[in-house]
Structure 1
Amino acid sequence: MELAGKTAIITGGGQGIGGGITSRFLEAGARVAVIQRRPLAEPLASQPGVMGVQADLSDPASIPHAVDQATGFLGTIDILVNNAGIMLERSVEDLQLAEWELMMALNLRAPLLMAQALLPHFRGNGGGSVINIGSIEGIAANPGHAAYAASKAGLHGMTKALAVDLGADGIRCNAIAPGWIHSALSENYLEAQGDPAAARAGLKALHPVGRTGRPEDIGNLAVFLASDRAGFMTGEVLVLDGGRMSKLPLSF
């Protein structure tokens, strides 16, 4: 197994993309601590090798305590996956300062503070792997996503900076920029459209692979990035979107 004997902290790893990453890490042999605001739900909570740690990662004071709990369960830490995040749709004129600050706190500041908290563990192990979950919206943007796109673009840039600053310590840092990934939230969004069937068909047509993404698609790439097979890869932002951003749009 690719991650046999490895340990990982995954933020927001209980559902959606994070759940797909956690499940694949467990299948690959890793032991995992999931740090998130809500309790870890079944069936994930009862799987061997996984522990849930409750923390509000938008609060900087919560991060050292959460890391202490995770390391108490795992011992040493080999991998950090910064997946927890939030997205609010607001037009530029309606975007409130508190909303901007919340998205920056959770999507951009928390990954930095998590990496800082784990530096002593990585250095003690002789290295580690940090994987940031960005977004194709860090490269382009949908309407009403000024704050979200800014936070993800910042995360992509920080990924490269961490790779440069920490490479001498044997710490690699890469990011995954997912496209449309199926989740309960994405399904609710599609169902809220005037014609959900047409919305699904239009969305599918954007993807050359003929489907939208699944959480395990992100998990598969995260396993590779965390493994020793990616030992020469750092500072990369890898788009995983089924070819969506490669397809030029037509007006007909």
Structure 2
Amino acid sequence: MSDYLKNPLSLFDVKGKVAIITGVSGAFGALAAQILAASGCKLVLTAGKKTELDAVAKTCTDAGAEVEALNVRPSSEAICEQVVAAAVKRFGKVDILVVASGKNDVSKITEMAPERFLDVMDANVTQSWLMAKACSKQMLAQGQNGQGTGGKIVLMSSARGLLGHPAGYTAYCASKSAVDGMTKALGCELGPTGITVNAIAPTVFRSPLTAWMFEDNDNAKTVRNGFLTRVPKGRLGEAEDLAGPLLFLASKASDFYTGHILYADGGYTAG
């Protein structure tokens, strides 16, 4: 009998793994850091907002994790390589990458300057590509150096990568569709090396940016109810709804999954 059949929960064991997480000042990045810290990972955390970065880093160290915190955004190839180098210097390797950095800029196309569109594409697409490039190079080198092969790359997509939105989401929808395409292409490219590349795609979930949708007022109720008519589970998402998908995609449990978009959406994209 396979060892995993004797102890199936061992498939989700990431203790001792080294994880880089970008964008920990955001709701998903902070959650990812806390989940992987509590699961025994060693962490390299990045964010452009130092106050939030320090707060998340403290939460993780208080949970017993070893943490390297870098006050940077993955905005250039040099910075992404510096992040990976810091991980290797501190912990000796990179096993997991979670790209949680990104942005949205809501505007009708007729009112949106090209620079604003390109800024969203850069934050969500180019920076994801740069981090994936830097980490995959290191993961491949580790295999060549006899430290074992493979790695886990988890990108952040959205239900908006599949579905449009009428309220000025051209930049965001286009960027998340590009992340989906990148996930599939990298899943095919890196699959033979043992590196898996997958994406988590939520619909609306509670965060500082969406907190207004959960409030008890007429405007929030109208918007919320509009979403709920499309969500079979009958509610909007909570941050913890992303915890299970993250741990799955970051662990051995997902070894046969690559190029996959995992919709954490309560069934929103199924209907």
**Equivalent position of 2:180 in the other structure:** 156
> What CA distance in whole angstroms lies between the structure 1 residues aligned with 2:190 and 2:197?
8
Query: Number of residues paired by the alignment?
Result: 247
2:126 corresponds to 1:126: no
> What CA distance in whole angstroms lies between the structure 2 residues aligned with 1:221 and 1:136?
15
> What CA distance in whole angstroms lies between the structure 2 residues aligned with 1:108 and 1:73?
28
2:74 corresponds to 1:57: yes
Determine what percentage of the aligned residue pairs are the same residue.
30
> What CA distance in whole angstroms lies between the structure 2 residues aligned with 1:45 and 1:15?
15
Runs of 4 or more above 3 Å deviation: 188-194, 197-206
**Equivalent position of 2:269 in the other structure:** 245
**1:174 aligned counterpart, secondary structure:** strand
2:206 corresponds to 1:182: yes
> What CA distance in whole angstroms lies between the structure 1 residues aligned with 2:197 and 2:80?
20
Report the aligned-residue RMSD: 2.1
2:60 corresponds to 1:47: yes
Equivalent runs, 1:1-252 vs 2, <5 Å: 2-39=13-50, 40-42=53-55, 44-48=57-61, 49=65, 50-123=67-140, 124=142, 125-143=148-166, 144-188=168-212, 195-247=219-271
Structure 1 residue 87: deviation in Å? 0.3
**Equivalent position of 1:250 in the other structure:** none
Structure 1 residue 54: deviation in Å? 1.3
Greater displacement, 20-29 / 171-180: 20-29
Structure number with higher relative contact order (C-alpha < 8 Å, ≥ 6 residues apart): 1
More helix as a share of residues: 2
> What CA distance in whole angstroms lies between the structure 2 residues aligned with 1:137 and 1:192?
25
Unaligned runs of 5+ residues in structure 1 are: 248-252
Give the TM-score normalised by the residue count of structure 1.
0.89
**Amino acid aligned to 2:245:** L
**Amino acid aligned to 2:238:** R
Structure 1 residue 193: deviation in Å? 7.6
> What CA distance in whole angstroms lies between the structure 1 residues aligned with 2:120 and 2:196?
25
Q: Please list the CA deviations of residues 209-239 of structure 1 after superposition, one character each: whole Å capped at 9, or x if unmatched.
A: 2322122221221111111111111111111
Structure 1 residue 190: deviation in Å? 5.7
Q: Please list the CA deviations of residues 73-115 of structure 1 after superposition, one character each: whole Å capped at 9, or x if unmatched.
A: 3320001111111000011111211111111111001111111
- Is the 1:177–1:239 Cα contact (8 Å) retained in structure 2? yes
**1:209 aligned counterpart, secondary structure:** coil
**Amino acid aligned to 2:36:** F
Q: Please list the CA deviations of residues 175-215 of structure 1 after superposition, one character each: whole Å capped at 9, or x if unmatched.
A: 11111110111014665986334444554454222322122
Greater displacement, 148-157 / 54-63: 54-63
> What CA distance in whole angstroms lies between the structure 1 residues aligned with 2:157 and 2:60?
27
Unaligned runs of 5+ residues in structure 2 are: 1-11, 143-147
Structure 1 residue 136: deviation in Å? 0.4
> What CA distance in whole angstroms lies between the structure 2 residues aligned with 1:4 and 1:221?
17
